[in-house]
Structure 1
Amino acid sequence: MPISETWLLPDGVADVLPEQAQVIETLRRDALDFLASRGYQLVYTPFIEYIESLSSLSESNQDLDLATFKVIDQLSGRLLGVRADMTPQVARIDAHVHQVQGIARYCYAGTVLHTKPQGFNTTRAPLQLGAELFGSDSIDADVEMIDVMLNLLKTAGFDRGIHLDIGHVGLFRSLVKHAGLSKSTENQLSDLYQRKALPELAEFTQDIKFGTDFYTLGRFSSDLDALQANLSAELLADEAFKQAFDALLTTKSEIQARWPNLDIGIDVVELRSYHYHTGLMYAVYAPNRAAPVAQGGRYDGIGEHFGRARPATGFSCDLYALCAGQFKKIEKVVAPKGTNKDLLTAIENARAQGLSVIQLLGNDDLNSVPYATHQMVNTAGEWKIEKI
């Protein structure tokens, strides 16, 4: 079959054309420069590696395992994985390759690949950009990470109308432990919370220990005051539950102090990646966007798979999604052919000012340069740039 009949790309994969690629690349550079200014060091990770190395998260996050493409290495015969998320790779760097004593901050930007789209109208090959902080279990680290995330989104133009959602898996996890529930019951509750199915939750919790508290957690998931007023005294006295509850209050207070005009919501039963996250979780939503524009959370102990368990928190976003619908007209200046010193100097000066200058070749004329917007002309012995 000729290539002309097989050129169509797989579902969920697309080319990025110049007008949008320029927007994305500008944002990538600005974002990495911003992260560098906050002390986050840039790392590059391999696009593919042994599946064992990528399994530090997949063991506790089945969703990530299912999202990972797997192939056989023809050199070693071992199973390889194409990265579906860069966090496990950065954890490997922190734990094994670049062991920093104390707090380590890393950032990254690169394409990842998913077996299936991870959301409605999303690509299977996102351009993932993110930041990770290792070595601190303090709430201050989570607050820093959320602040960095919000500032990065501001760099991308998301500074108005956004909503920050904060949760903490410790509330549900400590209640499950307190009640001594089985894994099956825990998973059923998690599903009910995720679906916000209050009538089903009310019925399901009638026959389980601390059922009233489980229902209250879902019923008042967005109101910490009402939650505190309706939960049992026994649960509120549980140390793990209390720590998680206080962490939510503190984080919301500190972020509100830094971002007084930000709309902040609480959802204590937002349990996405529940088996992966270990503490605070956060996501930012923007108007007319169904999925979060950035999200993250705490995942302590992530490096244990590589022999160095450390507290960690981080966030990521898809640059393609951030730049969706944004295009930049590319201006091109056309210069005539020739080797005249004044002409070459004028071309060099224009390029030094950031302009895109194309010098004609052979018998070319303006018609040979698609999308030309300006031309360089000699007026009274002086080279000038005029709009076409």
Structure 2
Amino acid sequence: MRRWLLPEAIEDALPAEAWHVETLRRRLLDEFHRHGYEYVIPPLLEYVESLLTGSGRDLDLRTFKLVDQLSGRTMGVRADIAPQVARIDAHLLNRKGVTRLCYCGSVLHTLPANLTATRQPLQIGAELYGHAGGGADAEILHLLARALQLSGVAATRIDLGHVGVFRALAAGAGFAGEHLDDLFGMMQAKDLPGLRELLADVAEPCRAGLLALPALYGDVTVLARAAATLPALPEITAALDELRALAATLGDLPISFDLGDLRGLHYHSGVVFAAYCAGYPGAIALGGRYDKVGKAFGRDRAATGFSLDLRELAQLAPNGLPRRAIVAPQATAGEAAALRQAVAELRAGGEIVINALPGDTPADWHEAGCDRQLVWRDGRWQTAELK
């Protein structure tokens, strides 16, 4: 047995990737901080009653579970940090007004999301609690667009949807419990043959509305088509009005609409969105409103936010690795102080300086990523190309 093998869809981050990911992490968290989002670090694992309660039960099948040797209770390794942040807002901070929080940490999934996905994403995100209006959704969407821009991966499209449309149609068609989950799964997959079979006995106009939902995507004219096509249920009218008002505040973003793009049936409560960028087949970031999550922790707070996998983002983002210098330690007693001063100045300026060890060769330095060396010339230490 090769002991160095890792489990399937679990991988190390080697130096170049790890530094690139860490650089992005610092850049994005600093930007969130400048927007007033406070940083929190939830624990890696909790009791499953906390991780999966209420709206978090959508994560049940994605969560690794184990027994706590101290209490005998079942614990889970987090598969999503957002519910943990909702717990912090509702139970620990317990503020009356708006709270802005951000986070970054590893999560673990029982199965990869797709054939190329990792089971250990590095999730980073921002959440806004305590404001139910469209202004909060607009702020979160602008912050997401800014984060992608700072990463060098501009959003080419941000799709908006609303789970209230699906919920109203499903309720009107009489779906509940497991049958509702089946309908939701087919709608997510946009499985039209399956939907036609499942909806064969459903009365109009909800049947026609559900069948029309997967095709309602495109520019802002989709909202007018939806209003003309879907039944005039109060919940649907309110959802379309909400999307229309939100879109009016996002004229500087590449907004489009997809009313059949659904996820988080027991998690999201209103507007949902997905951001896409060039060179990547799926959504690079997901988010939306989840107003009911805090209720399970004692406070029914309005909430909206987004998250993305920082390792996925790093694969798309430009990687400007810093140049390196090598310091040869053959300094005489009279040159040593000047050498230390030169090294300190280079490091203070952002350079990476590696101290050569006895027995090192230029090949070793090249392998370490070095392209320059410090040499004693004209009475001082200077950088020169490494041959």
| Aligned counterpart in structure 1 of residue 162 of structure 2, from 158, 161, 168 | 168
Q: SS of 1:265's equivalent?
A: strand
| Aligned counterpart in structure 1 of residue 35 of structure 2, from 38, 52, 60 | 38
Q: CA deviation at 1:365?
A: 4.6
Q: CA deviation at 1:128?
A: 0.5
- CA pair 383-59 structure 1, distance change in 2 beyond 3 A: closer
| Aligned counterpart in structure 2 of residue 373 of structure 1, from 363, 371, 374 | 371
Q: CA deviation at 1:214?
A: 2.6
Provide the residue aligned with 1:215 in structure 2. 211
Distance 1:176 1:58 in 2: 18
Provide the residue aligned with 2:22 in structure 1. 25
Distance 1:59 1:347 in 2: 52
**Counterpart residue type for residue 8 of structure 2:** D
Q: CA deviation at 1:202?
A: 4.3
Q: SS of 1:384's equivalent?
A: strand
Using the size of structure 1 for normalisation, the TM-score is 0.90
Q: CA deviation at 1:149?
A: 0.7
Q: CA deviation at 1:184?
A: 4.7
Q: Share of identical aligned residues, percent?
A: 39
Provide the residue aligned with 1:190 in structure 2. 184
Provide the residue aligned with 2:3 in structure 1. 6
- CA pair 302-58 structure 1, distance change in 2 beyond 3 A: closer
Q: Check if 1:311 corresponds to 2:282.
A: no
Provide the residue aligned with 1:122 in structure 2. 117
| Aligned counterpart in structure 2 of residue 333 of structure 1, from 325, 330, 350 | 325
Determine if contact 2:45/2:75 at 8 Å carries over to the other structure: yes
Determine if contact 1:296/1:316 at 8 Å carries over to the other structure: yes
Deviates more, 1:173-182 or 1:12-21: 173-182
Distance 1:58 1:310 in 2: 13
| Aligned counterpart in structure 2 of residue 240 of structure 1, from 235, 239, 243 | 235
RMSD (CA atoms)? 2.1
Query: Cα deviations across residues 117-149 of structure 1 (Å, max 9, x unaligned)?
Result: 122301111110001111111111111111111
Deviates more, 1:212-221 or 1:164-173: 212-221
Q: CA deviation at 1:360?
A: 2.4
Determine if contact 2:37/2:101 at 8 Å carries over to the other structure: yes
Provide the residue aligned with 1:358 in structure 2. 354
Number of equivalenced pairs: 374
Q: SS of 1:324's equivalent?
A: helix
Using the size of structure 2 for normalisation, the TM-score is 0.90
Provide the residue aligned with 1:51 in structure 2. 48
Distance 2:98 2:104 in 1: 21
Provide the residue aligned with 1:131 in structure 2. 126
Q: SS of 2:384's equivalent?
A: strand
Gaps of 5+ in 2: none
Q: Check if 1:224 corresponds to 2:218.
A: no
Distance 2:39 2:56 in 1: 27
Distance 2:177 2:359 in 1: 75
Q: Check if 1:93 corresponds to 2:91.
A: no
Determine if contact 1:296/1:313 at 8 Å carries over to the other structure: yes
Distance 2:275 2:248 in 1: 17
Q: CA deviation at 1:204?
A: 4.4
Q: SS of 2:315's equivalent?
A: coil
Q: CA deviation at 1:170?
A: 0.4
**Counterpart residue type for residue 369 of structure 2:** Y
